[in-house]
Amino acid sequence: MDRYVDWFNKTAPGAEEPLPALTRAGLSHLYFESTHPFEDGNGRLGRAMAEKSLAQNIGQPSLIALAFTIERARKVYYDQLEQHQKTLEVAP
């Protein structure tokens, strides 16, 4: 989790290595879900971290409901998450 927090802070807007908003939000979610630090609630917290990332990049609270968007393509989401958690390769 320390590495995740360091990465999250380092890639924030105005930080050492800022990332584009959607890239950072997606990677933030994948990295958190792959770390899976808690027995329960990882999905909710992972989505919250992605939404926090987006809010930081736009400079105000985000009204985006990632849970709703993910639910619409739930099978694809879980298939992609499972595939990319194994290697954390997201370039393609």
**What is the mean pLDDT of the segment spanning 56-75?**
80
Buried b (16+ CB within 10 A) or exposed e, 35-62: eeeeeeeeeeebbbbbbbbbbbbeeeeb
DSSP string spanning 37-74? -SSS-HHHHHHHHHHHHHHHHHTS-----HHHHHHHTH
**What is the mean pLDDT of the segment spanning 6-24?**
95
Average pLDDT of the residues of the chain: 87
Domain ranges of the chain: 2-85
pLDDT range class, residue 27, cuts 50, 70, 90: very high
**What is the mean pLDDT of the segment spanning 75-90?**
84
Domain 2-85, CATH class in plain words: mainly alpha
The lowest-confidence range among 6-15, 29-38, 43-52, 66-75 is: 66-75
pTM: 0.74
